[in-house]
A and B are shown apart, each in its own frame.
Chain A
Amino acid sequence: MASAEPLLLIEDLHVSVGDREILRGVDLAIGEGETHVLLGPNGTGKSTLLNTIIGLPNYRVTQGRIVFKGQDLSGLEIDERARLGIGIAFQRPPAVRGVRLRQMLDVAAGGKLPEETVVKLDEDLSLEYMLDREVNMGFSGGEAKRSEMAQLLVQEPDLALFDEPESGVDLDNIAVVGAAMNALLKGDGRVSERTRSGLIITHTGHILQYVNADIAHVLYEGHLACRGNPLDLIDEISRHGYDACVECAICQRL
C-alpha cells in the first residue's frame, strides 16, 4: 500500500447479523484508484462486508472500525455514507413500487439529470423502456444489473461496491455491465490518474475479462485468509477449491 492513507481502511472488523457473528476480524485497505476483488465460498460473509460498509442497519459492528477518507463511518447513516462517496450495486436490488428508474437516476445524480445524460446512459446500457418502469419491478437479471450500473454511473462514487455483478446475467449482459464498471472505475484517464476505487464480489471471475482488478482477497471463515493476483487466485480456486486455496503458496498468506 502506498504511504498515503488508503481511501478505505477496515481494521479488525467484527459484524453480527442477529445473534450470529459473520465477520470475525476483517482487515482491508483499498487505496485510491485500486480495484479489489472479494472471493470466498457461499455464506462466508462477502455480502455482509459490503452491506456493512454502506451501513445497512441489520449489520451490527461489534468490534473494529471502518474508516473512509479518514473519517470513521460508525454512526453515519446510509445516505451520509453515499454522499461521502460510497456507492453500491446490489446483487438483488429490491423492487420499489411507484418509483421509476428515471427517478432513481435523478436521486443518484443528486438532482434532475440532463436529458442528454439520460440518452447517453440509455445508449450505453440499453435502458430503453426500463427508464419509465418501476425500478426492479419485474426486471430480468440483466435488466436489474444494467439499472444498478446506470445508477452508479450517475452517482459517481469514489468507492464502488459491486455484489456479484455477473450473477444471473447472460454473456451479452456481462459485457455491457463490465464495460460500465470499467468506465466507472477507470474513466478515460491513464492508469496512474485513476482516482476511483472498487470492491467486487465475484464467484466466477467472468467479470474480470472486462475489469482490471489489482488484488483479490479470499474471505474464509469470517476473515480475509489470503490475497494475491486475481486471475491466479481464481484459477487456483477453480482447480483445487477454497480449502486448498487458503493453504496454498501462490498467494500472500495474511
Chain B
Amino acid sequence: MPETVSTAAQQRLAEIREAAEKAIDKPATLGPDVDITRFRTVSEQDKIDSLASLEKQIKETVIHSGFVADESERSGSYFQMDRTPIYERVQNAFDNAIEIMSTQDALAKWPDEMLEKYWWRAVMPDKDKYTALVALHQTEGYFIRVKAGHKVEKPIQACLFVSESNVSQNVHNLIIVEDGAEANVITGCNVHVDVKEGLHAGISEFYVGKNAKLTFTMVHNWGEDFSVRPRTAVVVDDGGVYINNYVLLTPVKSIQSFPVAKLEGKGSTAVFNTIVYGLKKSIIDLGSEAQLIGEGSRSEAVARTVTLDESVVYSRGRLIGRTNDCKAHLDCRGIVQSSASTQWAIPDLVSEGAPGAELSHEAAISPIAAEEIYYLMTRGLPKDEAVSMITRGFVNIDIPGLPDVLRRQIDKALEETAKEAM
C-alpha cells in the first residue's frame, strides 16, 4: 500500500479488517462447513515470460476450463499460480481498452478509487468465514477493467491455479466494465493433478456500467478433495447486461456458491446459465439471486443438472422483485442418473412491495424418457450412445449471445466428459 493513501482509505481498510475479524468463525448459511484452520495459505511461485513455458501437464489441465496458451484468440490473459500472478498480459491491439493486473496491484495503484467504489462494496467482508478469510489473508486475484466505450469481442482469459496440497487460495477478483463497454471473460479454476486436499475461497465483485455488457464464463475443474467457496456479487447500472455462464463437469469435494446480481440500473439485465454434472461424492450447492431493483430490470436463470455416482446437487434460484416494472424467470431441470445420487431443485420467488413484479419458475427433475432413447436407437445408435447423446443435449443449453469461441469450449468440455463417463 503506498504511503499516499488518504485517511479515508486507511479508515475503510481498518473497517474491513475489523468486520472480517469478527466473522472469521461465522459458518456460511449454505453448504457443508469447512475447517479453514486446517489449511496454510498458498506459496509464492516464479513468474513466467510466456504461457508457452507452462509445464505441459498444466497446459493440458487448464485447457479443460477454456484457458489456452496460444493467445491469438484472446485479448488478454491472467494466470495465477498459487499466490503469484505469474503472467499478466494484454494483447497489443487492446492496450488502450483493457487493464489486467492483480487486485493487490490495482489497490496500490488507485487506492482511493478502489476503496471508494469497488473494494468490498458489492460483497461484505463479514458475510461468513470465507469472506473474512479472504479479507484477512488475501492471496491476490485478478483485476480486469475494460475502459468506457470499448467493445472487446475476443475473450479475456483468467486462470487461478493451485499446485500444492493442503493450502487455501484466497483470491479477491474485480471486473469493471465501464459505460458502453463490452467484454467476454473466461475464467478457469484448476488444480494440479497431484493436488489432494485444499480450499479455494474467491471473492468476485463485478461492476457493469451504463449500457455495458459483461459475459462471464466460468469453467470449474477442481479436485475430488477440494472445497470451493466463491462469493460473487455483480452490480449492473442502467441498460447494462450481465451474462453468467457456469460449467462444472468434474468432481469436487464440495462447492457452495450463490452469486448475486444487483440490478440497480433502469432496464438492466442478468442472465445465469448453469451446467452441472455431479460426479463421485461431490456436494454441489449452486444457485443465483437476481435483485430486481431498477425499473424495467429483467432476469433469467437456466440450470441443467445431471447427477451420477453418489453426488448431491442443490440447484437454487432466487428472484427478488423490488420494483413494479420487473420480470424474471427461473428454469431448472435435472436428471438423476444414479440411485445413490440426490438432487434438490429449490426455486425461490420474492416480491418485496412490488405488486407489478412478474416472477415465475419452472423446475423439474425427471429421467430421460425411454421412448426418446428408443427413437435414437431406431436410427442405428446403440443404447449407451443414445443415452449419452440425449444427456449431452439436455445440458447443452442454447445460450443466446454466447460467442462461438466459448460455445466450442463448452461443447468440447462436454464431449470430453461424455467420453470419460462412458
Residues of A that sit less than 8 Å from B by CB = 54, 56-57, 77-79, 82-83, 87-88, 90, 93-100, 103-104, 107-108, 110, 134, 151, 155
Contacts and interface: CB of A to CB of B under 8 A. Distances in A.
Given A96-B372, A99-B389, A103-B389, A78 B377 contact: yes
A236 to B, nearest CB: 33
Interface of B: 369-372, 374-383, 386, 389-390, 392-397
Contacts of A82: 377-380
Contact of A79 (B370, B377, B394, B396): B377
Contact of B371 (A94, A97, A104): A94
Contacts of A54: 378
A54 B375 CA distance: 11
Contacts of A107: 376, 379-381, 389
Contact of A94 (B369, B379, B396): B369
Most chain A CB atoms below 10 A, which of B369, B375, B383, B397:
B375
Q: Which of A94, A95, A100 has the most CB of B within 10 A?
A: A94
A98 B396 contact: yes
A220 to B, nearest CB: 27
B277 to A, nearest CB: 14
Contacts of B378: 54, 78-79, 82, 87-88, 90
A90 B393 CA distance: 22
A107 B386 CA distance: 10
Give the residue among A83, A99, A108 with the most B Cβ atoms within 10 A.
Answer: A99
A18 to B, nearest CB: 15
B333 to A, nearest CB: 9
Given A94-B369, A96-B393, A98-B390, A77 B375 contact: no
B89 to A, nearest CB: 37
A96 B375 contact: yes
A110 B380 contact: yes
B374 A57 contact: yes
A98 B376 CA distance: 13
Nearest to A89: B378
Contact of B379 (A56, A97, A98, A151): A151
Nearest to A161: B378
B332 to A, nearest CB: 14
Contacts of A90: 375, 378
Given A82-B380, A97-B393, 20 more contacts: A54-B378, A57-B370, A77-B377, A78-B374, A78-B377, A79-B386, A88-B378, A90-B378, A94-B369, A94-B372, A94-B375, A96-B375, A96-B376, A97-B390, A98-B394, A98-B396, A99-B390, A103-B389, A107-B389, A151-B379
Contacts of B375: 90, 93-94, 96
B129 to A, nearest CB: 39
12 contacts: A54-B378, A79-B382, A79-B383, A79-B386, A82-B377, A82-B380, A87-B378, A94-B375, A96-B393, A98-B390, A98-B392, A107-B389
Contacts of B390: 96-99
**5 smallest beta-carbon distances between A and B, as pairs:** A98-B393, A78-B377, A82-B380, A108-B379, A79-B377
Nearest to A110: B380
Select the residue from B370, B376, B379, B392 with max chain A CB neighbours within 10 A. B379
A216 to B, nearest CB: 25
Contacts of B386: 79
Nearest to B395: A98
Contacts of B376: 96, 99, 104, 107
A134 B372 CA distance: 12
Query: By CB atoms of chain A within 10 A, which of B369, B371, B377, B380 has the most?
Result: B380
A186 B392 CA distance: 37
Contacts of A98: 390, 392-397
A87 B389 CA distance: 20
A57 B396 CA distance: 29
Nearest to A83: B380
Contacts of A79: 377-378, 380-383, 386
A251 to B, nearest CB: 32
